[in-house]
Chain A
Amino acid sequence: MTRKPDNPATPADPLAGLAPPGAPPGLKARVLVAARAALRAEPERPDRWSLLWSSRPLRLAWAASFLLLLAGHAVLVRPSRPQGQAAAPALPRPGNEADDELAAVGRLPRLDPDARPLSAGPGEPSTRSLPPLPEQPKENRT
């Protein structure tokens, strides 16, 4: 195991003529006894969970199923609320008076069809053609 002293790669080889020590003599018996015992021992069957984590295909299956669930969730949940449309306020159920009032508050205000336009002055008649009022009979003040 010693390196050749005349190796051109190391002109002044500080390790020339030296070698690492070999394994101690008593080690062989100790190692072989332990290794043979391990060889004889029946290999333990790993439990299902450790098998799940140690097996590469099963780990991939785990990851794939998780991603599939995530994608399915995204696809199924998103269309339930159309984009740009706010959720309508929940209206109280009819039948109860207090609930009716609340319903009226929540309802969108309707424009009065007979309302005057803003441009019209307070004394001016509405531009909207209104049916002529019936003439009232003049009273005799005499």
Chain B
Amino acid sequence: MTVPNEELGVARTEESPESAASVTVPRETVEKAFAALTAGDPDALETLYDAAADRIYGLALWRTGSAEDASDVVQEVFLRIVEARSRLGRVKEPFPWLLGLAHHVAIDVARRSKRRTTVPLDGVPFLVAAEHDLASPIDAARVSRLLDRLPAAQRDAIYLKHFEECTFARIGRITGVPAFTAASRYRLGIGKLRRLLEGRR
């Protein structure tokens, strides 16, 4: 399946192994952890945590806009994995499945915590400067504040596209929307972020 992106002027081919979500974490690591969990091995939980927790936390943070809620999401995701351990062998794409699970749990948690919403004083740290980049800390805080003004669905699309390098079709499957909706959300979100960075509304 080819997903055109007129704004970016590129067309990506779907489902090539290189375009898989798991770039830094080998697919085999997650698959082996799933197999070990199905067999009841508790050490597999730590392997899975090391492989996936940061990325689940990142997606949850961008969705919920709260570090506390994002931590709850990570814990809830692991509990659900344990509950579903007998069916993990049937998961064809482990990492996208994990991200999809995290996305759904994050929506649940965000909905529950709406009742106790508090406005953070210093904004949500959606981004931090990369280790090699010394000039970015100020930018990170500024971009985080601007990201906070985007709708959560658009933030999701930007996160999955930029940091997980997912195709729009995969983003659609993870977030439960058609590929074109995912592409549209990304285009709108990144466009608005650029306008905000330029000082325009």
* Nearest CB of B to A63, in Å: 24
How far, in whole Å, are A39 and B45 apart by their CA atoms in the complex?
A: 10
> Are A32 and B143 in contact (CB-based, < 8 A)?
no
How far, in whole Å, are A31 and B60 apart by their CA atoms in the complex?
A: 15
A12-B194, A17-B130 known; A35 vs B53 contact (CB < 8 Å): no
* Nearest CB of B to A114, in Å: 88
Within A1-52, which residues are at the interface with B (CB < 8 Å)? 1-3, 8-10, 12, 14-15, 17-24, 27-28, 30-32, 34-36, 38-40
Task: Out of A10, A18, A23, A40, name the residue touching B130 (CB < 8 Å).
Answer: A18
> Are A1 and B49 in contact (CB-based, < 8 A)?
no
A20-B163, A31-B53, A36-B42 known; A9 vs B79 contact (CB < 8 Å): no
How far, in whole Å, are A34 and B67 apart by their CA atoms in the complex?
A: 19
Chain A residue contacts of B133, Cβ below 8 A: 17-18
> Are A18 and B129 in contact (CB-based, < 8 A)?
yes
> Are A34 and B130 in contact (CB-based, < 8 A)?
no
Give the size category of A's interface with B: 20 to 34
Taking the complex as formed, is B126 at the interface, i.e. its CB lies under 8 A from any CB of chain A?
A: yes
**Other contacts beyond A20-B62, A32-B78, A38-B82: 7, CB < 8 A:** A3-B163, A17-B135, A18-B127, A20-B159, A21-B127, A23-B71, A30-B75
Task: Out of B10, B37, B53, B135, name the residue touching A27 (CB < 8 Å).
Answer: B53
How far, in whole Å, are A17 and B49 apart by their CA atoms in the complex?
A: 25
Chain A residue contacts of B37, Cβ below 8 A: 39
> Are B74 and A27 in contact (CB-based, < 8 A)?
yes
Chain A residue contacts of B40, Cβ below 8 A: 39
Give the size category of B's interface with A: 35 or more
Chain A residue contacts of B165, Cβ below 8 A: 3
Closest residue on chain A to residue B45 by CB atoms? A35
Question: Which of B46, B61, B135, B162 gathers most chain A CB within 10 Å?
Answer: B162
Taking the complex as formed, is B108 at the interface, i.e. its CB lies under 8 A from any CB of chain A?
A: no
Within A94-136, which residues are at the interface with B (CB < 8 Å)? none
Closest residue on chain A to residue B139 by CB atoms? A18
> Are A35 and B82 in contact (CB-based, < 8 A)?
yes
How far, in whole Å, are A19 and B127 apart by their CA atoms in the complex?
A: 5
Closest residue on chain B to residue A28 by CB atoms? B49
A61-83 interface bits toward B, Cβ cutoff 8 Å, 1 = contact, 0 = none: 00000000000000000000000
* Nearest CB of A to B154, in Å: 13
How far, in whole Å, are A15 and B5 apart by their CA atoms in the complex?
A: 19
Cβ contacts A to B, 14 pairs, < 8 Å: A1-B58, A3-B165, A10-B190, A15-B127, A15-B143, A17-B136, A18-B140, A19-B130, A21-B57, A21-B61, A22-B57, A23-B74, A24-B67, A32-B78
